[in-house]
Structure 1
Amino acid sequence: MSNPFAKLFNIHREEIFPVMLAVLFFFCVLTALMVLRPAREALGIQGGIETVRWLFVGTAVITLLVNPVFGLLVSRLRRLTFITTTYAFFGFSLIAFYLVMTRAPNIIGVISGQIFYVWFSVFNLFITMVFWALMADRFTLDQGKRFFGVIAVGGTCGAIFGPWLTSVLAEPLGTPALLLVSTGFLALAMAACWAITHIQPDRIGRTHETRPAIDERELIGGKAWEGFRAVFQSRYLLGIAIYVTILAIVVTFIYFTRLQMVAELGESTDQRTTLFARIDLITQAATLIMQALVAGHLMKRLGVHITLALLPLTTVLGFIGLAMVGSLAALITLEASFRAVQRAIMRPARETLYTVSSREDKYKAKAFIDTFVYRGGDVVGAQVEGLLGRLGMGLAAVASVAVPLALMWALLGLWLGRTQQSIATALESEDTTDKRTSP
């Protein structure tokens, strides 16, 4: 750790190359997403806020239908092959949307915009899920604690670069061309993925390894719906699923509260856009600093259990403040702090939970949790918030639901972190016993 870079980011010298590849991989993934996100929002909102609630339901249904297909790919294909197949499918889908937009622009309307909204939401979930599943598969728990936060920096940089690229290219090239730009970044992401999967475990500097070297020719096997059954057969995976559900509900509460408050503003659309663009910039900058300098050290020193509880506690304080003040400034403070802690601290910590799971659970159970379970939480959050709105209940009512939910969320985070450590200790003990008894 004598290298200044290693001291600053808590990364050993031999780990720098694979970590930089992972950073590049995530940068390309998030750039591909964020280049298209403005178009998704513009198309989805055409039918009004109530329509967006039902688009959440449509997205949840589609992710449920896609999950067994993805599970079948995981069972029948080698790891690199099913990852490539997943990314290639979405890449070719982007090309198909591009051809429709350029060859038959007259059919682009509200319905087609809603189809793109749902497709993009599925696209968003699956390509980020596959990325983090690969990270949990390639790196150990100790490494995940130290540099998953640094790897997340790549995503934040992509989240900043993507919208900037859209603002630069949308007018001279046209919106359809952005689909091809996104496809290009998916191709770059795949190149980084191939490089990471071909680095041998001993070149990543694995210490205290509890798993054998991964053979890329080996199939994971199992059945297509194995991930669904695994979640309900394991208290640990079920706990992760509940944690993700509460996360999605809280995110949705904040999302629709922002939509409602912005809709009530008397200012012009341009002023609203400028205001939230500045808030996004501040949030991304805060996230970037936290990811680069704090996240890795925080997980290593405080433990995953404390790190997982930080976002729920931020939520409690934020919603209490929002209920008391009820202003746009309070909402902006809540959203900015929530998003910074979520992306810089909670997300890397949550992804380390899968490092102690089996390879099958990393891809199948994780896919079910990060897609259908997450979108199911979206649906619950959207419908509950909508019900409170229709009953004429304000921010205090939303806070009265969010605060106790967040307190349970914090307790669950503490339990998950401690359970993860118990599983890791058991795996190390088994590995030590196997080494002693082997001939």
Structure 2
Amino acid sequence: MRGRLSDLLNLRRGEAAPVFVAGLFFFCILTALMMLRPARDALGIERGLDSVRWLFLGTAVVTLLVNPVFGGLVARLQRLHFIGATYAFFAASLVAFWALLVFAPGAVGARSGQVFYVWFSVFNLFVTMVFWALLADRFSSDQGKRLFALIAVGGTLGAIFGPWLAARLAEPLGTPTLLLIAAAFLLASIGLAAWLVHLRGDGPRTDPARPETSERIGGSALAGIRAVFASRYLMGIAGYVVIMTIVATFLYFTRLQMVAAAESDLDARTGLLGNIDMWTQVAVLVLQVTLTGHLIRRLGLGFALALLPLAMAVGFIGLAIYGSFLVLILLEAANRAIQRGITRPARETLFTVVGREDKYKAKAFIDTFVYRVGDVVGAQTEGVLGRLGLALGGLVSVVVPLALVWAALGIWLGRAQQQRAVAGPALPAIRNSRMD
């Protein structure tokens, strides 16, 4: 029975404990994020969709400014120290927002709501980026293909539990208290990160070729930015992320427009957005537990990375034809199921074959600033198409060509990752750019 379960979950000897701890780690992060996300979205559209587009631009600027700070932490601190410092900073920020809501409620207005929107967007990117960077450092390329989807189940359960917990506690305890609960989950993540790093099992922790936990990564604060522009492989990942976020932003604004038309009350909007977030997790969970690890291992990363672009192209065509709220929910469910259940584990596996410095610094630049650049481009493009009166038909004319390029890039990245995995331990991309 144990052997059958291990085969189903793609587990090998010594991997169960690290996978469990990593899944619990991701559960804490996604619980904290999803408790607060519906309120973020509802606050963001209080002053209209145009304000959200400018908030995207503000978020991109903030992530660009924060990247050298994070790079400096990576260069100067040991791995667990800069991970702990990142989560502790965001937990402290949540406590500060709680204090503002409790002790100075009169100061809370539209401007503070916009600040929270930008802060949450940065928070969302950095806490998940640090988690996946640690996993890329902790697990090998083969383990990433087999196990990342299984580990992501923890995040899916957190994405379900977070909105459920918020709905149960918001009324008896008050909305400000939710910020403290989210901060507690972040602090728990620090302990789980330490536990994962020190667990002995089959993986990089016991591999003598890998640096020990106590070593500092070193380098400069801007090394990650330079590495991305010096490596075709990292530039390919950046291009994939940009196109992905542009298309996702098209879907995001389409959802906001339909929700704004369906509900005018702030509380009703929050509840509607929260329900969409919670109920679309079921398909994600099924994919992560039963299919993704086997699919990536047997059909390859290229197929896994190309699946989402093709599904999004088909989905937008269907949305343009029917234009109903039901089709939107189905498209969002399919997008999240494939993105979280298949594409995200596959995309994170791409980083298992780059140098250790690039796992944290270059990945931070791609997953935060580059990601938000895609948001800005997508938001402004959607706004221009809307002002021209093209609406969904105009979006389809943009999405379909982008999806074809996106899918081709995914196939190329899958092949490039396999070549790097066969070649052996990766060197930092800044020093290995001639081999790309």
Query: Which TM-score band (shorter chain)?
Result: over 0.9
Does the 8 Å contact 1:44/1:52 carry over to 2?
yes
**Aligned residue among 348, 352, 374 for 1:351:** 348
User: 1:248: which partner in 2?
Assistant: 245
Gap change, CA 1:103 and 1:53, over 3 Å in 2:
same
Residue number in structure 2 paired with 1:335? 332
| CA 140–117 in structure 1, closer or farther in 2 if over 3 Å, else same | same
Residues in 1 aligned to 2:268 and 2:82: alpha-carbon distance in whole angstroms: 45
Corresponding residue of 2:292: 295
Asked if residue 371 in structure 1 is aligned to residue 368 in structure 2, the reply is: yes
Q: CA deviation at 1:283?
A: 1.7
CA distance in 2, matches of 1:268, 1:106: 21
Which one of 372, 392, 402 corresponds to residue 395 of structure 1?
392
Q: Does residue 382 of structure 1 match 2:356? A: no
Which residue number corresponds to residue 161 of structure 1?
161
Note the C-alpha offset of 1:92: 1.0
Shift of 1:429: 11
Quote the Cα distance in structure 1 between the aligned partners of 2:425 and 2:253.
45
Matched to 1:301, the amino acid is R
Q: Residue by residue, what CA displacement relative to the aligned partner does 1:11-67 show, whole Å, maximum 9, x if unpaired? A: 124100110000000000001111111222232222111111110001000000000
Residue 116 of structure 2 aligns with an amino acid whose one-letter code is F
Partners of 1:341 and 1:243 in 2: how far apart? 15
- Contact kept? 2:153, 2:289, Cα under 8 Å: yes
| Distance of 1:273 and 1:10 partners within structure 2 | 38
Q: How far off its partner does 1:347 sit?
A: 0.2
**Separation in 1 of the partners of 2:97 and 2:350?**
36
In the other structure, the counterpart of 2:431 is: none
What residue in structure 2 maps to residue 9 of structure 1? 9
Instruction: Give the number of equivalent residue pairs.
Output: 427
2:211 aligned partner, one-letter code: I
Match of 2:31 in 1: 31
Stretches of structure 2 lacking an aligned partner (at least 5 in a row) = 428-436
Deviations along 1:149-188, one digit per CA (max 9) or x if unpaired, are 0111111100110111111111111111111101110111
Preserved CA contact (<8 Å) 1:3 1:13: no
The equivalent residue for 1:204 is 202
Q: Are the equivalent residues in 2 in contact too, given 1:210–1:428 (CA < 8 A)?
A: no
Residue from 299, 311, 322 that aligns with 1:314: 311
Structure 2 partner of 1:41? 41
Counterpart code for 1:231: V
Deviation for aligned residue 1:247: 0.7
Q: Distance in 2 between matches of 1:382 and 1:287?
A: 26
Q: 1:168 to 1:265 in 2, by over 3 A?
A: closer
Letter in 1 for 2:407: A
Query: TM-score normalized by structure 1?
Result: 0.93
**What letter matches 1:233 in structure 2?**
A
Mapped partners of 1:164, 1:2: distance in 2: 32
| Deviation for aligned residue 1:401 | 0.1
CA drift of 1:7 comes to: 1.6
Q: Unaligned stretches of 5+ in structure 1? A: 431-439
For 2:234, the equivalent position in structure 1 comes to: 237
1:33-72 to 2 correspondences below 5 Å = 33-72=33-72
Matching residue within 412, 415, 419 for 2:416: 419
Q: Which moved more, 1:131-140 or 1:324-333?
A: 324-333
For residues 428 and 179 of structure 1, the distance between their equivalents in structure 2, rounded to whole angstroms, comes to 42
For 1:269 and 1:104, how far apart are their aligned partners in 2? 21
1:406 counterpart = 2:403: yes
- C-alpha change, 1:423 and 1:174, in structure 2 (3 Å) is same
| Partner amino acid, structure 2, of 1:14 | G
Question: What SS is found at the alignment partner of 1:115?
Answer: helix
Change in CA separation of 1:408 and 1:340 when aligned onto 2, cut-off 3 Å = same
Contact 1:32–1:162 (CA<8 Å) still a contact in 2?
A: yes
SS class of match (2:45):
helix
Q: CA contact under 8 A between 1:316 and 1:403: conserved in structure 2? A: yes
**Aligned equivalent of 1:219:** 216
The Cα of 1:264 is off from its aligned counterpart by 3.1
Match of 2:147 in 1: 147
State the Cα deviation string for residues 67-115 of structure 1 (Å, max 9, x = none): 0000000001111111011111111111111111111111000001100
CA distance change for structure 1 residues 120 and 306 in 2, over 3 Å: closer, same or farther?
same
Query: 8 Å contact 1:210–1:427 — kept in the other structure?
Result: no
Q: What amino acid is the match of 1:42?
A: A
Q: Cα distance 1:429–1:87, how it changes in 2: closer, same or farther (>3 A)?
A: closer
Which residue does the alignment assign to 2:301?
304
* Structure 1 counterpart of 2:202, one-letter code: I
Q: Distance in 2 between matches of 1:310 and 1:410?
A: 7
Percent identity over the alignment is 61
Deviation of residue 278 (structure 1)?
5.3
RMSD: 2.1
Q: Is contact 1:228–1:368 with CA below 8 Å preserved after alignment?
A: yes
Residues 1:114 and 2:114 are matched in the alignment: yes
What is the CA-CA distance between 1:324 and the residue it aligns to? Answer: 2.2
Partners of 2:42 and 2:48 lie apart in 1 by 11
